[in-house]
Amino acid sequence: MRAPTFAYHGIAASELRAARAVGEAEELAEHRFVQLPDLRESGDIPGATFGSLPKTYIPLRNAVFYSLAAAFAEEVRADVIVGGHNRDDLQVFPDTSRSFFNAMQRALRKGSPVLERRRIRLLRPLQYRSKERVISLAASLDVPFGLTWSCHREGDRHCWNCDGCRARIEAFKAAGIRDPLFAGRHHRPFRYPSA
């Protein structure tokens, strides 16, 4: 299995360290870190207004990410690109809809004779699962929760106040699963391997 991680402007270094740690734990064949310093969240764009979308919204993010993932897939001769979008994402981000991904898959095939010939598919196995159900599934698959990162802020430990942290707390609680990071929030933070 291969995976890209996209390092856009303002992404927490802790999130990148966590992505590297999870990739190493899963023994990926290749983990590519794609640098996108000019891709910004709406909260980092001076004077930008995006209606009711959160400050973490990145304009056309999934069009950019999946185009780059498709270039990676073409290079390594992959037939499938898998995304981790869940049901809750659709309530906030318009570029996580079924119609978006159907159109994106058609566009990628049209844009690349290689991907057309390989019939590249964009799969989203979590698309109908709530975050709670994703946590339950992940627990059954022994996902190393202690290596993961959900916080939108920079630091050595989760702030437990931002939207990402609050969503994580609620999902673990609803799933009835102990979050090893939240349980140890008053202790020394986990030290990720250096990026």
Q: What is the pTM of this model?
A: 0.88
Q: What is the pLDDT of residue 102?
A: 97
Name, in order, each residue with C-beta under 8 angstroms of 15's C-beta and a sequence gap of 6 or more: 149, 151
Helix (H), strand (E) at residue 138: helix 131-140
- Note the pLDDT tens digit of each residue in 91-144: 888 899 999 999 999 999 999 999 999 999 999 999 999 999 999 999 999 999
Domain ranges of the chain: 1-47, 60-128, 131-188
Task: Give the angle 101-144-135 at the CA atoms, nearest 5°.
Answer: 55
Tell me the pLDDT of the chain (195 aa) as tens digits: 999 999 999 899 999 999 999 999 999 999 999 999 999 999 899 988 888 888 888 999 999 999 999 999 999 999 999 999 999 998 888 899 999 999 999 999 999 999 999 999 999 999 999 999 999 999 999 999 999 999 988 888 899 999 899 999 999 999 999 999 987 665 444 454 454
Cα(38)–Cα(54) distance, integer angstroms: 19
Q: What is the pLDDT of residue 48?
A: 84
Q: What is the pLDDT of residue 192?
A: 47
The pair of structure tokens assigned to 11 is 């992404």
Distances in Å between the Cα of 61 and the Cα atoms of 30, 67, 164 are 22, 10, 18
- Please answer whether residues 55 and 41 qualify as being in contact, where contact means their C-beta atoms are separated by less than 8 angstroms: yes
